[in-house]
Amino acid sequence: MKAHFAIAVLCSISLTLVGEARAGSVSDWQHDIDEIVKDVQAIHPNPFFKTGRIAFLRRAEALKVNLPRLTEEQRVVGAMELVALIGDTHTQLEPDRPDFALWYPIRIYEFTDGYFVTAAHKSAVDLAGARVLEVAGQPVASVVQNARSLMGADNLYASKEYVFAFSNAALMKGLGYASTTGELKVKFKLTNGNEVDRVLTPHTTNDTRFKKGDSTFEWHFQAEMGGPPFGGVEEWISVYHGLPYSAFRTTDLTRPLRLMNRRFFVAKNIPEKDAFYIQSNFVGDDFAEQFRGALEEVDKVKPRRLIVDLRYNFGGDGSHVPAMARQFIKRADAPPWKELYVLTGRRTLSAGIMAAVAVMDNTENTVIGEPMSAPVNSYGDAISINFPRTGLHMDLSAATHQLGDSNDVSEFAPVDVPAPFTFADYASERDPAIDPILRGEEMRSLPMIALADGGSAARRIYEGRVARFREYDWWSPPTEIALRRAGQKLLELKRFQDAIETDKLNAEIHPDIWNVWYNLGKAQMAAGLTRDALESYRHVLEIDPTNDNEGEIRKAFVDAGSVLN
């Protein structure tokens, strides 16, 4: 446990909200912690894939031992940290009790250049767009990191999105940052450049869209222009032109593409840029029908560039994804677009990931943005469990979602071209993912470049991207299979030199995979470069002497009159 969490407190207290909530007894807490541990082990398909079983159980026992010395807020914090150790975005523990239904009037977000307020309640409207510098006298990054420790995350980008505990006064009190009355001291740099110290006073849940005394994090499914559950959609003010959150729940085609409608679905033809834009933010009952209608428009206008924006799609009902995928599959042989771009980000979650993978797997495409909030193989289909003795609610993954190869253990789904937001981008008309596409900059994936312009062009762009994107430890070059397929297609088209250059690039990126050397050898042999082909085949046998093509390779040496050492 963190030092500020483990400080001994002799009495158990709770914040007074809609009515005083009875704190659970030590025995109630011990019972519910045991129940949480039991449910985690019985229901989650693989609860210890990040934190080992013994470490998890020891943490649970330590929490039970410490219960008599902890405040009620610290007990909730400790229980949330325990469940967060599972490291699964679909598995979360939350307070569901009125004494925790108290919220600060800001919503913060991490950009590449710091933490900023993306939405502020009208009572603190001058904080909209402010940069957060310190919290309770400590650097904001360390405070946010501790707040994030209360919520499970599959990867770093899910963690970046899951900062919602910061908005809850009782949890910030349990973490040791808020006062006994829930007030929080924060230093901001306002949009006018002035640095100010503010004391944030919490507000009780009163948004009519939520139940009375709601302390769960259901509100986080709102776009980042909305905030915690008090006030309502008209009272939360965004950074963009000072518009209220309600403005982004209806369509306005004059706003930047990403902000035209952040509720469900929007599509727009952009003939002056030879482009068509589709944004889907939820997988609902009309998900497939929405794509069917949009793609029928695409059939008519035949744009050069089709942009499918799933950066804000937090999920829904995944059973609707196959019908959407069929809309792309039936166009795969003769697509009405020349370039397809799929945009992903930290809010792409659950059925949103399923939708993204469905498009990626069934089309020639380029992925732009940030990594999705879970890998292609992860856990989901969460079930809800209530613990009335302590007023806790748990969502617990009950299924494995295998959307990629069974041996794919990557933390991040691939992104061809990173495009994270700075705050200046976000607060303005700029979009680092969409704007370069519309300007005609080179944003295609390497396999697409190789197929269109040849292997030498792909190498040149690859070398430039390595230099540009080295700062992103989540970025990686194309997979071996993606480049292999491009090389095979080029070979089928008898573009031998392009196939060779593409396969050479693949071999340099993935030198320990025998397939790349085998395909390079085939391309070299087809081009009449027998000596080079035999050298590539030697690499195949060095890596895997018993691969499926061993007989063919040995015959090639015999036919060439060469000795295989």
Do 11 and 115 reside in the same domain of the chain? yes
| Domain, as residue range, for 11 | 3-245
Identify the pLDDT of residue 191. 96
Same domain, 287 and 209: no
In terms of domains, do 107 and 7 share one? Answer: yes
The label of the residue with tokens 């080295």 reads 470
pLDDT tens, position by position, 405-463: 877 788 899 999 999 999 999 999 999 999 999 999 999 999 999 999 999 999 999 99
Question: Is the same domain home to 187 and 270?
Answer: no
Q: Which of left, alpha, beta for 67 (phi over 0: left; psi -120 to 50: alpha)?
A: alpha
Does a structural domain hold residue 269?
A: yes
CATH number at residue 124: 2.30.42.10
Residue 341 CA to residue 436 CA, distance in Å, equals 12
- Measure Cα distances from 407 to 157, 232, 376, 380, 545 in Å: 22, 46, 11, 18, 22
Reported as a single tens digit per residue, the pLDDT across 175-196 is: 999 999 999 999 999 999 999 9
Q: Is pLDDT at 3 greater than 70 in this prediction?
A: no
Q: How sure is the predictor about 262, in pLDDT bands with cuts at 50, 70 and 90?
A: very high
Do 431 and 486 fall into the same domain? no
Residue 432 belongs to a domain: yes
The answer to the question of residue 106 being in a domain is yes
Q: For the chain, what is the domain count?
A: 3
Q: What is the pLDDT of residue 7?
A: 28
Is 391 among the domain residues? Answer: no
In a domain? residue 392: no
Q: Are residues 168 and 280 in the same domain?
A: no
Among 444, 465, 498, the domain-final residue is 444
CA distance 448 to 342: 14
- Of 555 and 167, which is predicted with more confidence? 167
Residues 430 and 305 in one domain: yes
pLDDT confidence of residue 353: 96
Q: Is residue 455 part of a domain?
A: no
How high is the pLDDT of residue 550? 87
- The band of 4, judged by pLDDT with boundaries at 50, 70 and 90, is very low
Tell me the helices (H) and strands (E) count for the chain, helix number first: 19, 20
Residue 22 — pLDDT band, cuts 50, 70, 90? low
- Establish if 405 belongs to a structural domain: no
| Residue after which a domain boundary falls, among 227, 245, 263 | 245
